[in-house]
A = this chain, B = another copy of it.
């Protein structure tokens, strides 16, 4: 999660909503991503999707069974769907997204997707939330 936070900082410095994600297999990080939707102009460029695409590249397989994704913010509907479609087995997220989080806040990903994904929410929540709050605070001031 510390690495995911570093990636969120990278997004922050680029003026993007600061969210970072890493995918771990057998205790090792195999892929990383951070939100860069403004830079790429891709609706898909959320941190989780960036990481999933890289993990698919690295493993040469669209199935990511046996991997975990660590992400600083609770995934949205699209990312929850992508996690389920790519068969990631575990989701560890930092800050809860009460309005748009589709892992446990707005809906339970496992009920939604008929999956059996292990979920841990609120991990290093304060630090994950702090960088998001900072970003939106600065945005309001401008």
Q: Is the CB of A43 within 8 A of B52?
A: yes
Contact with B along A58-98 (1 / 0, CB 8 A): 00111110000000000011111110111100000000000
| Chain A interface residue number, banded | 20 to 34
Task: Kindly report how many copies of this chain are found in the complex they form together.
Answer: 2
* Interface residues in chain A, defined as those with a beta carbon under 8 Å from any beta carbon in chain B: 37-38, 40-46, 49, 52-53, 56-57, 60-64, 76-82, 84-87, 102, 107, 112-113
For residue A35, give the distance in angstroms from its CB to the closest CB of chain B. Answer: 11
Residue contact A82 to B85, C-beta cutoff 8 Å: no
| CA of A64 to CA of B76, assembled, Å | 18
Whether A82 pairs with B44 at a CB distance below 8 angstroms is yes
Given contacts A44-B52, A62-B43, is CB(A76)–CB(B82) below 8 Å?
no
- Distance (Å) between the CB of A50 and the closest chain B CB? 10
Bound Cα distance A84, B41 (Å): 15
The closest CB in chain B to the CB of A86 belongs to B43
